[in-house]
Homo-oligomer: A and B are copies of this chain.
């Protein structure tokens, strides 16, 4: 693909990045395939039927942008790690499996029917149940099987992380980052869930503060800061370099999640692969919502608190919420914040000591994370 891209000059830094990144992506995919194929051997030795959870994991991990794995890779390279080393491949596989586990359980919690444009895992199991005309409830079977599949995927993630060996062993910085990443993202997810239940009772200022905590822990640190730092730590980065990485990646991660929040309300379903206004039906109390409550009219307040989170909200209801978010100025405020976080991130990237290939790669990932439509 690289050779035929008319925008990339042969032998250019961009081409070096694309080529190295393609190799790494292929290594992560091969690592995932090899690992999951070994797991299938274990499972089939138990019973043929036990393959189904692993099959769902295989399908889910075949897709995705590999954003976290790529951040880990360039974090590793930027700290002097060698191209082709094993550590960031195993860590990348572990991050992709962790993300898959989180998505499987997230979709159960949010009752999302689709993921990456395909049926979510609990829906796949529900359909399997219906297709076979099994007994009891297909929905309940689907949810239960997805809970177990997510658990299996979480264990698989750890199995691959520990396979890195001594560099990610007990007491290392890489292990500390991986541990902290898991605790923080789960805490952030809990706060997110709690906010759906408590949100309507908060003052706009409290709601905005909580929304920012959720952005930071559920997403910015987990999706961007920790994968990059993990890669750096695996290559032996010191404290100063890791601080430099964070100065770049934490604001980038915040911009990344705020972009996600905007897409969850205003995104094109054909591009996002999720129904229009899904976040509104799920009752997500994002900064966009907190800002609309802060800046909106009493009528906006009333509309948001009475219709946000209604699972059967129709397109008309979605449109009215969108209008309220837009006219209140909340959309503009969040877009400004994205721009501000982007500027902070870009400035910090300029301060990092990196060779041209690593700098170009990280700059490209940053753009992809924030200037996206899906």
Contacts and interface: CB of A to CB of B under 8 A. Distances in A.
Copies of this chain present: 2
Given A39-B183, A163-B170, A155 B152 contact: no
Given A109-B148, A170-B164, A175-B162, A46 B184 contact: yes
Contact of A183 (B155, B163, B217): B155
Interface in A27-44: 39, 42-43
Given A155-B154, A197-B129, A309-B135, A188 B46 contact: yes
B155 A165 contact: no
Contacts of A89: none
Q: For chain A, give the interface size range.
A: 35 or more
A170 B162 contact: yes
A47 B197 contact: no
Nearest to A193: B144
- Give chain A's interface secondary structure class: helix
Contact of A151 (B50, B105, B163, B198): B105
A335 interface: no
Contacts of A179: 155, 159
29 contacts: A46-B188, A47-B191, A50-B190, A52-B190, A52-B194, A53-B186, A53-B187, A53-B190, A108-B144, A135-B196, A135-B197, A136-B197, A136-B309, A141-B193, A141-B197, A144-B193, A145-B190, A145-B194, A151-B154, A152-B183, A152-B187, A154-B154, A155-B179, A155-B182, A158-B162, A162-B169, A162-B170, A162-B175, A165-B171
